[in-house]
A and B are shown apart, each in its own frame.
Chain A
Amino acid sequence: MKRRTLLASGAAAAALGLTGLPALAQDAKTKVGFIFVGPVGDGGWTYQHNEGRLAVEQEFGDKVETMFVESVPEGPDAVRVMTDMALKGANLIFTTSFGYMDQTVEVAAKFPDVKFEHATGFKDAPNLATYSARFYEGRAVQGHIAGHMTKSNVIGYIGSFPIPEVIRGINSSYLAAKAVNPDVQFKIVWAYTWFDPAKEAEAANVLIEQGADVILQHTDSTAPQAAAQAKGDVITFGQASDMAEYAPNPRVSSIIDNWAPYYIDRTRAVMDGTWETHQVWEGIGDGMVKIGEISDAVPAEVKASAEALRDSIGAGETHPFTGPLNKQDGSAWLAEGETADDGTLQGMNFYVEGIEGDIPS
């Protein structure tokens, strides 16, 4: 769907409404719109949201119509795209990136009859729900494998933007890696982008040159995987999507964002008229975060312990942030046995003790 056609049809719909014609026979179809931050071909974050969209089509067949606009910049332009979608008759709109938060709030206020769902945000309204996944639970499993697998004890981390979501992932994987390998050291490079293969590849190369033999990424493209493959002897993890085309090596496992069941549930709720706003944050236990197949490049005992950790987090027996834990500056954060509350996690703006470097402001 090109933005141009969207605009044109949006304008046409508005014109029809103005002339007082009966609104284009409200056909029984439920229209579901998606705003994507990258191209659906990114092989990561947006790809996975699009899989969710396709699952909705598969589930409801003729009863739904989905539409999407890809590579929508985070910022004022998103308002225009969302408004177009609402004017085009969407009943439910998913805005799938943190940076759309204020724009979604703004547009939701203008269209009280349209339901909005914003991914990874924290502002809601009567017709605006938020949903997110506890990716940090998956990060802990990655950190566990990374801590076991590294020979140089240097783990490289490609960060996107210094926001709580990303910092949480760094902390979670660091703690899990440190638990199995006390000598482990994290090197963090901020790419300041969600999706820019050139920059991501560059960052991965630099980290490898500085001794990292494990690369963790919080950016969406497969470029770091390609860079690791070219260097050889470096392992990576799929981000957001399985990235199985790089298995079994360098990609040894992955965090998969499984949005499909949620999208199907919410679409059904709109159809039934039972949709209500909420703030959900689901993890491994709920099935929203999945750990991709751990490949044979990982020794069997490490694979077994990683899977045990995954299951224990899923069952709620283990929390990745369990005290005693200090913040980077040495001040106490969690006491012995205490686990982090969701409020602190959602606003996390500090490194835990042991990570070097400063969070850029």
Chain B
Amino acid sequence: MDLSAINPILLLASLMVAATPILLAAIGELVVERAGVLNLGVEGMMITGAVCGFIVATATGSPWLGFLGAALGGALLSLLFGLLTQFLLSNQVATGLALTLFGLGLSALMGQSYLGIRAPAFPDIHIPLLGDIPVVGPIVFQHDPMVYVGLGIVAGVWWFLNRTRGGLILRAVGENHDAAHALGYHVRRTRMLAITFGGACAGLGGAYLSLVRVPQWTEGMTAGAGWIALAIVVFASWKPGRLVLGAYLFGGVTVLQLNLQAAGVAVPVEYLSMSPYLATIAVLVIMSTGRAPGSLGRIFHAAR
């Protein structure tokens, strides 16, 4: 055993990168759930985003266009969910699960001819001045741009939910859709927009895996990241600030597990891979303040 081999600076730096895909997917799902919709299809939208992003990036040679394509792909798939649950009033849990299964199959089909191909490079940016600060520089300021885009989206969502009229309406719809409807707000329209945003974010998260993390396409490459994203939303009690903390905590577990192995500590892999979910359950029990949005998962019908 040689714990000194683990360099804490590099560990924290790789933690930021490891957390980015789940952070992106989770912030999208947070908005969806604050609007009162439970979309369990995050995994399916992530993997669809991963393959769409990869296809667009290899076709155009531009990772940025790839991310755009991934967001579109994820959003399109989420629109299907929106159509089924908001207009045809299907059960959200069942539809979400179906969306995950559908996304996994669809992505495998779309990615058939993209196996073993290399993605265009997406270099890290070295932020001048900030990146040169000892210790903090390598940890925080020397990553690829998407890490900062992800944090930017979280900040934007916090501002939107807490500081704008639109955010207030979205929260009202999520807390009590009948009351919001009675006040004249468009429940369905608000929710469709939230669902689309959630799909686009999940798509970005998936593309981060296929274009930056790996970077290659393989079937089922998200490997449960979407479920972790769902757990983080609950862990964070539906608050954007805590979401960042949760994503870093959960993302850190994967990195830490491999680091411990390489350092010769024999921690059974299984314990570490179930730890995020155990933490979520513990948080649910401990934090009574983390109340779920009032209308979460309930079907809204204006005629009632």
**A and B assemble together:** yes
A residues whose Cβ falls under 8 Å from a Cβ of B: 39, 41-43, 47, 71, 156, 187-190, 192, 195-199, 201-203, 205-207, 209-211, 221-223, 226, 245, 356-358, 360
13 residue pairs of the A-B complex, CB under 8 angstroms, read A187-B263, A187-B264, A188-B261, A197-B214, A201-B216, A206-B259, A210-B5, A211-B5, A221-B216, A223-B216, A245-B118, A357-B266, A360-B266
Would you call B221 and A198 a contact (CB within 8 A)? Answer: yes
**Closest Cβ neighbor of B121 among chain A residues:** A230
Would you call B213 and A198 a contact (CB within 8 A)? Answer: yes
Given A195-B218, A198-B214, A226-B216, answer yes or no on A190-B261 (Cβ-Cβ < 8 Å): yes
- B window 268-284: CB within 8 A of A: 269
A81 to B263, CA, bound (A): 41
Given A156-B262, A196-B223, answer yes or no on A209-B216 (Cβ-Cβ < 8 Å): no
B243-277 contact mask (Cβ, 8 Å, vs A): 1 or 0: 00000000000110011011110100100000000
Would you call B116 and A47 a contact (CB within 8 A)? Answer: yes
With A226-B216, A358-B266 given, name 16 new contacts (CB 8 A).
Answer: A41-B115, A41-B116, A41-B117, A42-B116, A156-B262, A187-B263, A188-B262, A189-B261, A198-B221, A202-B258, A209-B7, A209-B10, A210-B6, A222-B216, A226-B118, A245-B118
**Closest Cβ neighbor of B124 among chain A residues:** A230
Tell me whether chain A's interface is mostly helix, strand or loop, or mixed: mixed
A71 to B218, CA, bound (A): 11
A39 to B266, CA, bound (A): 32
Among A156, A203, A205, A356, max chain B CB count under 10 A is at: A205
Candidates A39, A209, A357; contact of B11 at CB < 8 Å: A209
A210 to B263, CA, bound (A): 8
Candidates A47, A189, A201, A358; contact of B262 at CB < 8 Å: A189
Would you call B258 and A206 a contact (CB within 8 A)? Answer: yes
Candidates B116, B221, B262; contact of A210 at CB < 8 Å: B262
A356 to B263, CA, bound (A): 9
Tally inter-chain residue pairs, CB-CB below 8 A: 89
Q: Shortest CB–CB separation between residue B258 and chain A, in angstroms?
A: 4
Q: Which residues does chain B contribute within 8 Å of A196, judged by CB atoms?
A: 218, 221, 223
Q: Which residues does chain A contribute within 8 Å of B131, judged by CB atoms?
A: none
Q: Which residues does chain B contribute within 8 Å of A199, judged by CB atoms?
A: 223
A187 to B218, CA, bound (A): 27
Q: Shortest CB–CB separation between residue A189 and chain B, in angstroms?
A: 5
- B window 1-42: CB within 8 A of A: 2, 5-7, 10-11, 14, 18
Check: B178 CB closer than 8 A to any chain A CB: no
Would you call A192 and B216 a contact (CB within 8 A)? Answer: no
Q: Which residues does chain B contribute within 8 Å of A189, judged by CB atoms?
A: 258, 261-262
Check: B209 CB closer than 8 A to any chain A CB: yes
Would you call A206 and B262 a contact (CB within 8 A)? Answer: yes
Q: Which residues does chain A contribute within 8 Å of B264, judged by CB atoms?
A: 187, 356-357
A221 to B259, CA, bound (A): 21
**Closest Cβ neighbor of B13 among chain A residues:** A209
Given A42-B115, A189-B261, A357-B264, answer yes or no on A202-B254 (Cβ-Cβ < 8 Å): yes
Q: Which residues does chain B contribute within 8 Å of A43, judged by CB atoms?
A: 116
Q: Shortest CB–CB separation between residue A122 and chain B, in angstroms?
A: 27
B100-124 contact mask (Cβ, 8 Å, vs A): 1 or 0: 0000000000000001111000000
A199 to B261, CA, bound (A): 13
Among B7, B216, B263, max chain A CB count under 10 A is at: B216
A226 to B209, CA, bound (A): 14
Q: Which residues does chain A contribute within 8 Å of B294, judged by CB atoms?
A: none
A43 to B114, CA, bound (A): 12
A237 to B241, CA, bound (A): 43
Check: B219 CB closer than 8 A to any chain A CB: yes
Q: Shortest CB–CB separation between residue A41 and chain B, in angstroms?
A: 3
Q: Shortest CB–CB separation between residue B45 and chain A, in angstroms?
A: 17
Would you call A201 and B213 a contact (CB within 8 A)? Answer: yes
Would you call A187 and B262 a contact (CB within 8 A)? Answer: yes
Among B115, B254, B259, B264, max chain A CB count under 10 A is at: B115
Q: Which residues does chain A contribute within 8 Å of B118, judged by CB atoms?
A: 222, 226, 245
